[in-house]
């Protein structure tokens, strides 16, 4: 039986892996994930337990991190956008704490760009974004993702190996429904899930999908890569000394997955 390169490395070995949706969460650091100018008037607070929150100076944007290590998903990252301070959110994005940190960072970086663009112009793209939905999903098709449309008003895009996806509700439904949902891992038991409510700027969804399919490898330790799907990973050259010798690990194409690995 063929072995995967990760199986020959020490659990603490640092490697670079693709695709991103199967890499694992990486370092959980609210300050790094949010990338806001905290020295420029963005309040930030974090408890000893790890719960954190940050706000825009106008208090219309609120981001929180609620770690729950004993629950599936290990907690939640949340973005709430309010048309006016202290009102109900106009839209919301939530990510499981197991979502790759680099993808979180890219969404929050785009969020900051939208905020600053609105602040210094007469636009209001945080609440009136005119970006077309295809800008968020067309790049998936160029990377070989499959596409299926249902009559219930949803379309689903799946990764080539079937271990990740993005679902878009193109027909407006009830307020409790999601406009976009993305996941990595087996659909029945994903490693992470991201949820975007109706009203979320499509620009932010597009930033997420662009990061999702980026070909820039993510650095992880072997033990942090989800074991159930690691055979579907490409492994780049390890970034530190290997356990057995010093020969680099060559890129390995994903192994077709026909069922759940044990």
Residue 58: band (very low, low, confident or very high) from pLDDT cuts 50, 70, 90? very high
Q: For 222-234, how does the pLDDT look when each residue is reduced to its tens digit (9 = 90+)?
A: 999 999 999 999 9
Residue 261: its pLDDT value, please? 40
- Bridge partners of 76, per DSSP, are 66, 96
Q: For 185-196, how does the pLDDT look when each residue is reduced to its tens digit (9 = 90+)?
A: 999 999 999 999
DSSP state of 50: S
pLDDT at 248 over 90: no
Q: How far is CA 59 from CA 63, 82, 210, in A?
A: 10, 8, 28
Long-range CB contacts for residues 71-76, cutoff 8 Å, separation at least 24: 72/96, 73/97, 73/98, 73/192, 73/193, 74/25, 74/98
Question: Of 203, 182, 197, which is closest to residue 88 (Cα–Cα)?
Answer: 197
Distance, in Å, from the CA atom of 71 to the CA atom of 65, rounded to the nearest integer, reads: 14
Average pLDDT of the residues of the chain: 89
Q: For 72-128, how does the pLDDT look when each residue is reduced to its tens digit (9 = 90+)?
A: 899 999 999 999 999 999 999 999 999 999 999 999 999 999 999 998 888 899 999
Where do the structural domains in the chain lie, given as residue ranges?
Answer: 1-19+217-253, 20-212
Q: For 140-183, how does the pLDDT look when each residue is reduced to its tens digit (9 = 90+)?
A: 999 999 999 999 899 999 999 999 999 999 887 655 679 999 99
Asked whether the bond before 168 is cis by omega within 30 degrees of 0, the reply is no
pLDDT at 250 over 50: no
Residue 244: band (very low, low, confident or very high) from pLDDT cuts 50, 70, 90? very low
């Amino acid at each position: 039986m063929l072995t995967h390169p990760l199986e020959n490395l020490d659990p603490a070995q640092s490697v670079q892996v693709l695709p991103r949706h199967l890499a694992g969460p990486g370092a959980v650091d609210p300050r790094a994930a949010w990338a806001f100018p905290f020295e420029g008037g963005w309040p930030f607070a974090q408890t000893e337990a790890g719960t954190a929150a940050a706000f825009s100076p106008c208090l219309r944007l609120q981001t929180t991190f609620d770690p729950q290590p004993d629950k599936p998903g290990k907690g939640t990252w949340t973005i709430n956008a309010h048309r006016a301070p202290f009102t109900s959110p106009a839209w919301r994005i939530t990510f499981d704490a197991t979502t790759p940190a680099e993808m979180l960072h890219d969404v929050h970086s785009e969020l900051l760009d939208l905020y600053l663009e609105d602040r210094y112009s007469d636009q209001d793209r945080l609440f009136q974004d005119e970006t077309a939905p295809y800008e968020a999903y067309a790049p998936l098709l160029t990377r070989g993702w499959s596409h299926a449309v249902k009559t219930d008003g949803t379309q689903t895009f799946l990764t080539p190996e079937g271990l990740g996806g993005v679902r878009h509700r193109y027909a407006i439904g009830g307020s409790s429904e999601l406009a976009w949902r993305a996941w990595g891992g087996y659909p029945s038991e994903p490693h992470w899930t991201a949820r975007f409510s109706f009203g979320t700027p499509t620009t932010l969804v597009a930033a997420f999908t662009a990061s999702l399919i980026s070909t820039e490898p993510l650095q992880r330790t072997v033990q942090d890569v989800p074991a159930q799907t690691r055979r579907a990973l490409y492994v780049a050259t390890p970034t530190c000394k290997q356990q057995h010798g010093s020969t680099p690990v060559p890129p390995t194409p994903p192994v077709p997955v026909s069922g759940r690995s044990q």
